[in-house]
């Protein structure tokens, strides 16, 4: 389940294969995700030069020398693999990209088809042209222009559970279910605490936790729950980071020994320590 660190690992792995290269051919082998843009067919990128490869949150942007962009999202199970051209097609191969290497090609593979590769049009943001889909999401916490003060204030105005706000990519991008649970555990905040009940100090601590847990995962080359995530070299980033909350139901909390609890959260789950992470919403917390 790729989140920011995993996508960044993929980006770093892909850069040497794509940056400055001309797209010799790009072909949709099997229709990709159902959310793919219909702006133009992917093959429109044939012959374009890839000037750079960027990431915002979980989105990848192949910057082209064209007036449109090539964008990708890994969804839940998407992978980019650099494979020998001779090797047989994977069962879930979606897109094949030839950047001129003599023996190798880049393949986008996705089992659950929540991921996609698409052409997108460019729009203005802060004086720059960026992909439309990429522009709809907020900056992530590693972006040099990330404005922490602004984001903290915005979070404090949200009338939603803090976990929901963490996953809202229009507030801050890059956080998924795993790192949301991990950051909340580290900051000792209950996932169902109302965001507008949090003090600035608490939100700041939460954002520090988000950044530190993601930095650690990134340093390890990305975390994954299983082998659905494989980096571009085909090497799994399996369990590189110690998970303290996510997937730890009934395991003892490493801080206090209390059993980690799992509760339903929409279509998914939240994991937390009921002792370290109290929900204070009914205890008359005063604001300010």
Q: Which is nearer to DNA, 142 or 225 (CB)?
A: 225
Strand order in the sheet with 93-98: 25-28, 93-98, 104-110, 78-84
Is residue 128 involved in binding DNA (CB under 7 A)?
no
Which among 54-62, 183-191, 209-217, 231-239 is the span making contact with DNA, rule CB under 7 A?
54-62
Which among 82-90, 251-259, 262-270, 273-281 is the span making contact with DNA, rule CB under 7 A?
262-270
230/5 Cα distance (integer angstroms): 13
Q: Are 61 and 71 in contact (CB under 8 A)?
A: yes
Structure token digits, residue 217: 């995962």
110/120 Cα distance (integer angstroms): 20
**9, 79, 83, 133: which one contacts DNA (CB under 7 A)?**
133
How many other CB atoms sit within 10 Å of the CB of residue 88? 8
Q: Single out the catalytic residue among 58, 154, 186, 193.
A: 58
Phi-psi region of 257 (alpha: psi -120 to 50; beta: other; left: phi over 0): left
DSSP one-letter code for 66: S
SS3 label, residue 277: coil
- How far from chain centre, in Å, is Cα 208? 18
**117, 167, 183, 207: which one contacts DNA (CB under 7 A)?**
167
Residues β-bridged to residue 64: 50
Minimum distance from residue 47 beta carbon to DNA (Å): 27
Q: Which is nearer to DNA, 25 or 269 (CB)?
A: 269
Structure token digits, residue 39: 């702006």
Catalytic status, residue 268: yes
Catalytic status, residue 3: yes
Q: Which is nearer to DNA, 169 or 277 (CB)?
A: 169
240/254 Cα distance (integer angstroms): 17
Q: Which is nearer to DNA, 177 or 277 (CB)?
A: 177
**55, 107, 164, 193: which one contacts DNA (CB under 7 A)?**
164
**45, 138, 178, 187: which one contacts DNA (CB under 7 A)?**
178
Buried b (16+ CB within 10 A) or exposed e, 20-59: ebebeebebeeebbeebbebeebeebeebbbeebbbbbbb
Is residue 112 involved in binding DNA (CB under 7 A)?
yes
Catalytic status, residue 131: no
Binding residues among 56-75 for DNA as defined by CB under 7 A: 57-59, 73, 75
**76, 93, 123, 129: which one contacts DNA (CB under 7 A)?**
76
Q: Which is nearer to DNA, 102 or 157 (CB)?
A: 157
Minimum distance from residue 98 beta carbon to DNA (Å): 26
Torsion angle, CA of 125/126/129/134, rounded to 10 degrees? Answer: -40
Please give the residue ranges that form the binding site for DNA (CB under 7 A).
Answer: 1, 3, 34-35, 57-59, 73, 75-76, 91-92, 111-114, 133, 136-137, 157-161, 164, 167, 169, 173, 176-178, 225, 246, 262, 266-269
Q: Which residues are catalytic?
A: 2-3, 58, 268
């Amino acid at each position: 389940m790729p989140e920011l660190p995993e996508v960044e690992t993929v980006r770093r792995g892909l850069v040497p294969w794509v940056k400055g290269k001309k797209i010799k051919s790009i072909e949709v082998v099997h229709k990709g995700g159902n959310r793919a843009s219909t702006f133009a067919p992917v093959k429109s990128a044939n012959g374009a030069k890839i000037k750079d490869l960027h990431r915002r949150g979980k989105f990848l942007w192949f910057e082209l020398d064209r007036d449109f962009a090539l964008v990708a999202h890994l969804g839940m199970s998407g992978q980019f693999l650099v494979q020998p051209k001779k090797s047989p097609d994977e069962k879930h191969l979606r897109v094949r990209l030839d950047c001129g290497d003599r023996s190798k090609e880049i393949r986008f593979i996705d089992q659950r088809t929540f991921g996609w590769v698409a052409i997108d049009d460019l729009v203005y943001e802060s004086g720059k042209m960026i992909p439309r889909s990429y522009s709809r999401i907020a900056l992530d916490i590693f972006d040099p222009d990330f404005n922490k003060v602004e984001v903290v204030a915005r979070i404090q105005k949200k009338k939603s559970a803090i976990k929901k706000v963490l996953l809202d990519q229009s507030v801050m991008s890059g956080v998924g279910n795993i790192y949301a649970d991990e950051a909340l555990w580290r900051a000792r905040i209950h996932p169902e605490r109302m965001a507008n009940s949090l003090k600035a100090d608490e939100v700041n601590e939460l954002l520090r936790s988000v950044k530190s847990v993601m930095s650690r995962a990134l340093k390890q080359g990305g975390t994954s729950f299983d082998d659905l995530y494989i980096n571009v070299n085909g090497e799994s980033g399996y369990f590189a980071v110690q998970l303290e909350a996510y997937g730890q139901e009934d395991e003892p909390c490493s801080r206090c020994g209390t059993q980690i609890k799992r509760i339903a959260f929409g279509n998914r789950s939240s994991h937390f320590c009921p002792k370290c992470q109290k929900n204070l919403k009914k205890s008359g917390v005063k604001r300010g």
